[in-house]
């Protein structure tokens, strides 16, 4: 049922006072899974992801009136989700006065004992390898490999060039291969 | 080039008595097993060129069914809170903050508006200091006369008489000159 409405139709319904809540509910249902998995792969923990996805949609609710069709809706949503996730990791780093690398190390340890992580040894190794990547390479790899986004779409979300993203992905793949083969 | 030739010559000289062509060894059967090991490692690598990504994470059951309701509740509760002034007023935390604020404001008002008593130390000063004082110059003659008249008593009149006698001043002449 949700998939019957295009982004444009959802936006039009949202702008009408009578169907505002209904349209937003459909929007949440349409994008919740894609955004949740995107966030989860960045922050790893389900509870943290749950907090962030809720905050993302609250922000979207507040800002959707001002959304103009300069960019596509899903790239705008992805951008908000990405920013919220990075902000969360940065605040975690400040709260516990630990470096970004230490946060990744902690997340890597958390993975192995997380009951909501059901991957096998290879999947665990892959996620741990991804956590060793610099933030930008990590984002690009996740969006390209897991979400199947095109470079042009990622470029719009991260506000960067396609050439730079290709280099980021290439380096990320090489580092992951090296990590998996070396361990 | 000269350096390289020199190095080569020196190296040949150093190694001419060596009988071994290979200094390093490998475990027995290493090269026989290596291809299989390499292939096993490669086989575990994800295929980064294909969209075969496996989702290794899970969520609690019914999570995505309930999430839209949770978000909707948060949006509605946020809206209610923004219009409910009574909820804000009867919030115990807000009441404590308000009481503390009123106490601080009232205390500050009484502290800064209280009447201050300033004690001035009595000090002596010379006639010259008084006469040169700008305050003295600003006093009118009438004020001075009134002040002196109010300060007069028997003793001061006797002192004036004695002063006139000592300086041989005729009081009638003085009256004329005034």
pLDDT digits (tens, 9 = 90+) for A21-68: 999 999 999 999 999 999 999 998 999 999 999 999 999 999 998 888
Does residue B68 share a domain with residue B102?
A: yes
Asked whether the beta carbons of residue B64 and residue A36 sit closer than 8 angstroms, the reply is yes
As a whole number of angstroms, the distance between CA A110 and CA B169 comes to 114
Q: Using alpha carbons only, how large is chain A's radius of gyration in Å?
A: 18
| pLDDT classification of B153: cutoffs 50, 70, 90 | low
As a whole number of angstroms, the distance between CA A123 and CA A121 comes to 5
Res. B160: pLDDT tops 90: no
Cβ atoms of A119 and B44 closer than 8 Å: no
Long-range pairs of B26-29 with CB within 8 A, sequence gap ≥ 24: none
Residue B5 lies in a domain: no
pLDDT score recorded for residue A52: 95
As a whole number of angstroms, the distance between CA A14 and CA A69 comes to 14
- The whole-chain average pLDDT of chain B stands at 71
Instruction: Spell out the residues 6+ positions from residue A72 whose beta carbon is closer than 8 angstroms to its own.
Output: A7, A156
| Interface confidence: ipTM more than 0.85 | no
Res. B83: pLDDT tops 60: no
Q: Which domain holds residue B80?
A: 63-113
Structure tokens at B28: 């027995």
CB contacts under 8 A, A 122-151 vs B, are 122-124, 126-127, 145-146, 148
| Residue of B31 and A154 predicted with greater confidence | A154
Instruction: Spell out the residues 6+ positions from residue A20 whose beta carbon is closer than 8 angstroms to its own.
Output: A13, A14
Res. B157: pLDDT tops 70: no
Does residue B151 share a domain with residue B109?
A: no
pLDDT score recorded for residue B150: 72
Residue B40 lies in a domain: no
Residue B147 lies in a domain: yes
Does residue B108 share a domain with residue B143?
A: no
Structure tokens at A9: 């139709």
Cβ atoms of A75 and A157 closer than 8 Å: yes
What average pLDDT does the segment B5-25 reach? 64
CB contacts < 8 A (A, B): 76
pLDDT score recorded for residue A141: 93
pLDDT score recorded for residue A50: 94
What average pLDDT does the segment A73-102 reach? 84
Res. A136: pLDDT tops 80: yes
As a whole number of angstroms, the distance between CA B71 and CA A25 comes to 9
Q: How far is CA B43 from CA A118, A180, B32, B39, in A?
A: 21, 11, 19, 6
Cβ atoms of A20 and B76 closer than 8 Å: no
CB contacts under 8 A, A 19-38 vs B, are 21, 24-25, 28-29, 32-33, 36-37
Q: Does A5 touch chain B (CB under 8 A)?
A: no
What average pLDDT does the segment B132-156 reach? 70
| pLDDT classification of B6: cutoffs 50, 70, 90 | low
Res. B116: pLDDT tops 70: no
Query: Distance between terminal CA atoms of chain A?
Result: 46
Asked whether the beta carbons of residue A118 and residue B44 sit closer than 8 angstroms, the reply is no
- The whole-chain average pLDDT of chain A stands at 88
Does residue B106 share a domain with residue B68?
A: yes
Residue B43 lies in a domain: no
DSSP 8-state symbol, B121: -
| Residue of A176 and B133 predicted with greater confidence | A176
The residue among B113, B130, B147 that closes a domain is: B113
Q: How far is CA A27 from CA A9, A12, A24, in A?
A: 10, 12, 5
What average pLDDT does the segment B146-175 reach? 71
pLDDT score recorded for residue A2: 46
Residue B23 lies in a domain: no
| Residue of B125 and A37 predicted with greater confidence | A37
Res. B21: pLDDT tops 60: no
What average pLDDT does the segment B135-149 reach? 72
Which of B53, B67, B75 lies at the smallest CB-CB distance from A61? B75
Buried b (16+ CB within 10 A) or exposed e, B1-14: eeeeeeeeeeeeee
Res. B87: pLDDT tops 60: no
Does residue B106 share a domain with residue B145?
A: no
pLDDT score recorded for residue A155: 95
As a whole number of angstroms, the distance between CA B2 and CA B125 comes to 105
pLDDT score recorded for residue B76: 87
Q: Using alpha carbons only, how large is chain B's radius of gyration in Å?
A: 55
Residue B89 lies in a domain: yes
Residue B151 lies in a domain: yes
| Residue of B119 and A102 predicted with greater confidence | A102
Cβ atoms of A108 and A98 closer than 8 Å: no
As a whole number of angstroms, the distance between CA B66 and CA A53 comes to 13
- The tally of domains found in chain B comes to 2
Does residue B143 share a domain with residue B101?
A: no
Q: Kindly list the structural domains of chain A, giving each domain's residue range(s) and its CATH number in brackets, ordered by start.
A: 1-97 (1.10.1740.10), 119-183 (1.10.10.10)
Residue B77 lies in a domain: yes
What average pLDDT does the segment A91-118 reach? 75
Q: Three-class SS of residue A117? A: strand
Does residue B144 share a domain with residue B107?
A: no
| pLDDT classification of A11: cutoffs 50, 70, 90 | very high
Q: Three-class SS of residue A50? A: helix
Asked whether the beta carbons of residue A54 and residue B72 sit closer than 8 angstroms, the reply is no
This prediction has a pTM of: 0.59
As a whole number of angstroms, the distance between CA A156 and CA A57 comes to 20
Res. B7: pLDDT tops 70: no
């Amino acid at each position: 049922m949700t998939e019957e409405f295009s982004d444009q139709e959802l936006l039009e319904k949202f702008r009408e006072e009578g169907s505002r809540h209904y349209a937003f509910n459909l929007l949440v249902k349409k994008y919740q899974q894609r955004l949740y998995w995107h966030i989860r792969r960045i922050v790893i923990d389900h509870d943290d992801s749950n907090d962030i996805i809720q905050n993302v949609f609250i922000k979207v609710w507040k800002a959707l009136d001002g959304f103009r069709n300069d960019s596509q809706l899903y790239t705008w949503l992805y951008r908000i989700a990405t920013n919220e996730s990075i902000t969360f990791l940065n605040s975690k780093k400040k709260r516990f006065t630990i470096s970004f690398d230490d946060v990744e190390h902690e997340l890597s340890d958390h993975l192995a004992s997380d009951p909501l992580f059901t991957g096998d040894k290879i999947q665990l190794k892959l996620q741990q390898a991804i956590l060793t990547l610099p933030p930008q390479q990590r984002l690009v790899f996740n969006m390209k490999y897991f979400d199947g986004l095109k470079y042009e779409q990622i470029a719009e979300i991260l506000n960067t060039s396609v050439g730079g993203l290709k280099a980021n992905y290439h380096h990320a793949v090489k580092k992951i291969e090296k990590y998996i083969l070396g361990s | 080039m000269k350096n390289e030739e020199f190095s080569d010559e020196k190296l040949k000289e150093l190694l001419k008595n060596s009988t071994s062509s290979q200094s390093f060894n490998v475990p027995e059967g290493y090269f026989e097993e290596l291809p299989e090991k390499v292939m096993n490692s490669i086989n575990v690598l994800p295929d980064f060129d294909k969209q075969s990504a496996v989702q290794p994470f899970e969520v609690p059951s019914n999570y995505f069914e309930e999430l839209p309701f949770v978000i909707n509740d948060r949006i509605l509760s946020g809206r209610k809170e923004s219009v409910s002034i009574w909820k804000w007023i009867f919030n115990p935390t807000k009441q404590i903050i308000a009481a503390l604020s009123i106490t601080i404001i009232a205390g500050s008002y009484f502290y800064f508006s209280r009447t201050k008593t300033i004690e001035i130390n009595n000090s002596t000063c010379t006639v010259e200091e008084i006469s040169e004082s700008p305050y003295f110059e600003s006093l009118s003659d009438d004020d001075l006369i009134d002040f002196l008249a109010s300060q007069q008593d028997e003793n001061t009149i006797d002192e004036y008489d004695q002063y006139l006698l000592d300086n041989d001043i005729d009081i009638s002449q003085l009256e004329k000159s005034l």
